[in-house]
């Protein structure tokens, strides 16, 4: 993989990879796709270094990691939401101004109609055969943005609800309740399984 990384001319990308690898554990193809998607969104939305962004990833697999390590968009700070659709796609937007109901975002996806021009990478993407990360990333470097499709989208700004904390009637632990719940969701699920 070092040989592949050494071929990258862009010092910013190399710096990002240097931060990403220790976080992710290695440079996976999925994490590299996330990195390229982040670069596209940065250009399209004019995201400045250190600016807060919000990301909705459509897979848990590797793709969200660059957004976490390079922009601090995590599940814990509500900067990252994951919809488990198993799609190589993300929607990215900046924060809203007070009172704003919608913000402009961009949805980017890895487009199989475009990846077909890069047979080795396409074979990896469509899981047609085992392709080492080095080979897939090498083709992605050649392809650049050519394998992605994007569109601007309106993203609804979530309304921050007041937290209503209660004590669960079954386990005795505190939880944030929705509506008129008297038991936590964990106990409710356990109750439904019986």
Contact by Cβ (8 Å): 181, 168: no
Structural domains counted in the chain: 2
pLDDT digits (tens, 9 = 90+) for 55-88: 999 999 999 999 999 999 999 999 999 999 999 9
Whether 124 and 177 map to the same domain: the answer is no
CATH code for position 13: 3.30.1330.130
pLDDT digits (tens, 9 = 90+) for 81-131: 999 999 999 999 999 888 889 999 999 999 999 999 999 999 999 999 999
Buried b (16+ CB within 10 A) or exposed e, 110-131: bbeeebeebebbbbbbeeeeeb
Whether 123 and 194 map to the same domain: the answer is no
Whether 111 and 75 map to the same domain: the answer is yes
Question: pLDDT exceeding 70 applies to what percent of the chain?
Answer: 98
Write out the two tokens for 87.
């799609």
Helix-helix angle 29-45:133-143, to 10 degrees: 20
Residues near 145 by beta carbon (within 8 Å), at least 6 away in sequence: 36, 40
Residue 101 pairs with which residues in a beta bridge?
Answer: none
For the entire predicted model, the pTM comes to 0.85
Distance CA 58, CA 145 (A): 19
- CA 21 to chain CA centroid, Å, is 16
Buried b (16+ CB within 10 A) or exposed e, 58-76: bbebbbbbbbbbbbebeee
pLDDT-based confidence at residue 9 (cuts at 50, 70, 90): confident
Q: Furthest-apart CA pair in the chain: how many Å? A: 60
Range of the domain at 135: 2-156
Residues near 32 by beta carbon (within 8 Å), at least 6 away in sequence: 137, 140
Whether 13 and 57 map to the same domain: the answer is yes
Whether 110 and 74 map to the same domain: the answer is yes
Query: Could you tell me whether strands 53-57 and 80-82 are parallel, antiparallel, or unpaired per DSSP bridges?
Result: parallel
Whether 143 and 65 map to the same domain: the answer is yes
- Whether 1 shows a pLDDT value over 70: the answer reads no
Whether 25 and 109 map to the same domain: the answer is yes
Query: Could you tell me whether strands 102-110 and 148-156 are parallel, antiparallel, or unpaired per DSSP bridges?
Result: antiparallel
* Among 62, 86, 55, CA closest to 140: 62
For 5, 29, 125, 133, 169, the CA distances from 26, given in Å and listed in that order, are 12, 10, 18, 10, 45
């Amino acid at each position: 993989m070092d040989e592949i990384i050494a071929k990258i001319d862009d010092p910013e990308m190399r710096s990002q990879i240097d931060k990403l690898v220790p976080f992710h554990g290695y440079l996976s193809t999925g994490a590299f796709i996330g990195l390229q998607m982040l670069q596209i969104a940065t250009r399209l939305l004019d995201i400045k270094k250190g600016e807060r962004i919000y990301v909705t990833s459509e897979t848990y697999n590797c793709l969200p990691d660059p957004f976490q390590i390079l922009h601090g968009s995590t599940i814990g700070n509500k900067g990252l939401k994951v919809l488990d659709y198993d799609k190589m796609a993300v929607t990215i937007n900046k924060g809203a101004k007070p009172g704003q109901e919608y913000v402009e975002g961009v949805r980017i996806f890895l487009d199989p109609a475009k990846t077909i021009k890069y047979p080795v990478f396409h074979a990896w993407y469509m899981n047609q055969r085992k392709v080492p990360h080095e080979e897939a990333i090498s083709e992605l470097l050649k392809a650049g943005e050519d394998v992605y499709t994007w569109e601007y989208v309106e993203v609804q700004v979530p309304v921050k609800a007041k937290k209503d904390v209660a004590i669960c009637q079954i386990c005795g632990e505190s939880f944030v309740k929705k509506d008129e719940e008297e038991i936590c969701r964990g106990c409710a699920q356990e109750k439904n399984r019986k």
